[in-house]
Amino acid sequence: MEQNSPASNNLDFKNKVWLTAGILLLFLVVAYLFSTLLNLLLLVLAGALVSIYFYACAGLLTEKLKIGSPYALIISVLLNLIIVGLFFWFVGARLNSQVDELSQKLPQTIDNAKSWLSERPLGEKFLNYSTNSLESGKATSTIKAFFSSTFGILSDVYIVILLAMFFIASPETYRRGVIHLVPTKGKKTAENLYDEVHRVLKNWIKGEIFGFFFIAVLTGLGLWILGMPLVLTLALIAGLLNFIPNFGPLIALVPAVLLGLMQGPNTALLVLGLYTFIQIVQSTVTQPLIQKKMVSVPPALLIFGQVGMGLIAGFWGVLLATPVVAIIMTLVNKLYVEKQEGENENNAA
């Protein structure tokens, strides 16, 4: 048997090192491109969701008032702009003053909360742990990763609005463009998938809008009954953050509880109980009704998607994790699960 010389062994080792380094470099490049491309795709998805919302409103006008599609779409856009304008016209000044008051009161309430916690053994441990986490930079880096944006929040919003305008102007152009990318054999399947994803996203938007009003109204009524200040601002914050499942309600709870502490510990506990009660009602009554009209996303899968996409894509990843997971589940169901079930039924027959 021939034995490899030390020179050839050394050469093989160098080749392996270079191959390993090349694979690692390729992996890093692919990961970087994926994260960058994912951020851009999420902005495209956000623009598509805005356009789907306006088309859903137009469809409602066409169904109820028998208005032609082009005119219904124009009325839909104008009507939404008028509603938003009227809202800010009537409550904009009040909302602005409440936001200013909240920004002024929050530092004081945080200091009051710290002094209240420091007087209790468990609270003191919590303060020490949070202080150490902030000093080490771990918590700060995680929060920045979760709430970072692609090009800056204003630029992102501008891009989303611009994309939405193009999608609203000629949706069929982009639909045909996506389907043209698919081979001839799969075009029919691609058309069905496109329409199914469109339906799922439209139903998700309907559910989120219903959830927004449900949470905002209940929160506003509850806080008003408790005699809390800044009811309008806190209710809007709770309703808007409801678009982010799991994490949004927790974020909305923080300023409400801190303001409750200014009224006293009992008020803070009542606020905590109110928010918990509203989330229980939503989870047991409204959420099942919403999920009947869209893909039911398992909670564990949704949390995994939110955390993963939040770390990769920041704010947009957390905000759009639910529709992304719903799209993926729709594709898996149509392309794999239903085919497998059909094959199993044929084999059984």
**Residue range of the domain that includes 147:** 43-338
Q: Is the pLDDT of residue 49 over 90?
A: yes
CB neighbours (10 Å) of residue 162?
12
Mean pLDDT of 1-5: 51
Mean pLDDT of 139-152: 54
18 versus 47: which is more confidently predicted? 47
- Quick one: pLDDT at residue 219? 93
Domain annotation covers residue 17: no
Domain annotation covers residue 296: yes
Domain annotation covers residue 344: no
The 3-state secondary structure of the chain, one letter per residue: CCCCCHHHHHHHHHHHHHHHHHHHHHHHHHHHHHHHHHHHHHHHHHHHHHHHHHHHHHHHHHHHHCCCHHHHHHHHHHHHHHHHHHHHHHHHHHHHHHHHHHHHHHHHHHHHHHHHHHCCHHHHHHHHHHHHHHHHCHHHHHHHHHHCCCCCHHHHHHHHHHHHHHHHHCHHHHHHHHHHCCCHHHHHHHHHHHHHHHHHHHHHHHHHHHHHHHHHHHHHHHHHHHCCCCHHHHHHHHHHHCCCCCCHHHHHHHHHHHHHHHHCHHHHHHHHHHHHHHHHHHHHHHHHHHHCCCCCCCHHHHHHHHHHHHHHHCHHHHHCHHHHHHHHHHHHHHHHHHHHHHHHHHHHC
End-to-end CA distance of the chain: 59
pLDDT tens readout for residues 231-248 = 888 899 899 888 887 788
Domain annotation covers residue 5: no
- Quick one: pLDDT at residue 51? 92
Owner of token pair 């053994």: 121
Domain annotation covers residue 347: no
- Quick one: pLDDT at residue 222? 93
Q: Is the pLDDT of residue 180 over 90?
A: no
- Quick one: pLDDT at residue 1? 45
320 versus 312: which is more confidently predicted? 320
Domain annotation covers residue 287: yes
Mean pLDDT of 296-322: 79
Q: Is the pLDDT of residue 52 over 60?
A: yes
Pick from 231, 265, 212: nearest CA to 273: 265
Least confident of 116-125, 126-135, 183-192, 297-306: 126-135
Give the predicted TM-score (pTM) of the model. Answer: 0.75
Query: Which phi and psi (to 5°) does residue 119 adopt?
Result: -80, -5
Domain annotation covers residue 61: yes
Domain annotation covers residue 346: no
Q: Which amino acid is at 211?
A: G
Give the Cα separation of 33 and 47 in Å (integer): 21
Owner of token pair 């851009």: 40
Residues 164 and 44: beta-carbon distance below 8 Å = no
Q: Is the pLDDT of residue 197 over 60?
A: yes
Total tally of structural domains belonging to the chain: 1
Pick from 232, 234, 286: nearest CA to 259: 234
